[in-house]
Amino acid sequence: MSSPSKNTPAGSPSPDQPVIHLSGLVKQFDGRVVLDGINLTVRRGETLVIMGASGCGKSTLLRCLIGANRPDEGTVKLFGKDIWALAPKELDSVRRRLGILFQSGALFSSMTVGENVALPLREHTDLSPEMIDLMVKVKLELVGLREAENQYPAQISGGMAKRAGLARAIALDPELLFYDEPTSGLDPIMTGIIDGLIMDLSRTMNVTSIVVTHDLKSAFRVADRMVVLNQGKIVTEGKPHEIRACTDPFVKRFIQGPVEAKTAVFPKSAMEKPEREETTLSTLREAIVKAEEDGRAAEVQRLKKELNKLESVASGEG
């Protein structure tokens, strides 16, 4: 196994120590268990893909890993440190060793592509403007976007925005990269390009990668190891060929089955309420919880309005 990169801070784990270690992770929202006793270890240089049906807890797990959501139970260790036991300055130091590619790219619309990539360098380093400019060009070159440095996000395609977001995510040469649905909304050609970048960065930067995705073709292309979630639990984990050969009924439906098999599996009791209004209300409440977990504030407000309307109608009829 190759040695740690030169930019690894003092006190980093040895190459044999896990970069991520989760133990007994539990997270609830309004009494609903979203993550239910997750145990997971990720080694240095590994590309781990997290898959599962909509509502299975993938996004919540990602937010727990990056320190955005505090778990209700269990521990989250990054680089050997329990991140929720750290002082704020220590936690910031750990977070500077992470890079995150958000689903939309999350570029600042008022900044050029180059300025977006330069932002973490300006905020977290003492590099001169000339060196920052050089580093920006290097990162954009890595993702094939040198020609877009002076363009604004509105002037580039969705695939280019994803690549620009990736250039910003690697600006500080992170040891650990998180990808949130990196190929969502992309055509097959651009999906292949993004997958290629994920694999190339893993090799050239010795970076550990966590990829959250529902894109099965992409998942099997980039993964060293895979985890399948359902109802907040890890159903199975293993190398791609082991996942394909898995005999668990849910995994078989998810990997091989029709589209309807790729939706979250809820208990039968939640799906068999005789009253039409109560079933609709329950579905709306579940959708609100999922939207809140995903941080979709506008959708939360819209769904709550619909819920209020239906509750008013049901109350009036009662």
β-pair type (32-42, 20-29): antiparallel
pLDDT on residue 279 = 53
pLDDT on residue 39 = 95
- 213 vs 298, higher pLDDT: 213
Task: Please name which of 37, 104, 48 lies closest in space to residue 74, comparing C-alpha atoms.
Answer: 37
Per mean pLDDT, which of 64-78, 256-270, 304-318 is the most reliable?
A: 64-78
Reading the block at residue 152, the tokens are 């604004």
pLDDT at 63 over 80: yes
pLDDT at 31 over 50: yes
Return the beta strands (E) in 166-292 as ranges: 176-180, 208-212, 225-230, 233-238
Helices (H), 12-128: 58-65, 88-95, 113-124
Q: Mind listing the pLDDT tens digit for each residue in 157-168? A: 888 899 999 999
Q: Sorting pLDDT into bands at 50, 70 and 90, what band is 291?
A: low
* Whole-structure pTM value: 0.73
Q: Sorting pLDDT into bands at 50, 70 and 90, what band is 2?
A: very low
pLDDT at 202 over 50: yes
Q: Which of 29-38, 180-189, 288-297 is predicted with the least confidence, judged by mean pLDDT?
A: 288-297
Cα(224)–Cα(157) distance, rounded to whole angstroms?
Answer: 29
Give backbone dihedrals phi and psi of 49, rounded to 5 degrees, phi first. Answer: -105, 130
pLDDT on residue 67 = 86
Q: Tell me the pLDDT of the chain averaged across its residues.
A: 81
pLDDT at 214 over 50: yes
pLDDT on residue 118 = 94
CA atoms within 13 A on the CB side of 239: 2
Task: Please name which of 119, 126, 165 lies closest in space to residue 142, comparing C-alpha atoms.
Answer: 165
> What residue spans define the domains of the chain?
1-97+175-261, 108-173, 268-317
CATH code linked to domain 1-97+175-261? 3.40.50.300
Give backbone dihedrals phi and psi of 277, rounded to 5 degrees, phi first. Answer: -65, -45
- 295 vs 196, higher pLDDT: 196
Q: Mind listing the pLDDT tens digit for each residue in 115-152? A: 999 999 998 888 889 899 998 998 998 888 888 999 99
Q: Sorting pLDDT into bands at 50, 70 and 90, what band is 78?
A: very high
Instruction: Tell me the DSSP string of 17-28.
Output: S-SEEEEEEEEE
Reading the block at residue 231, the tokens are 């109802």
Q: How far is CA 183 from CA 47, 55, 137, 161, 198, in A?
A: 16, 19, 24, 11, 11
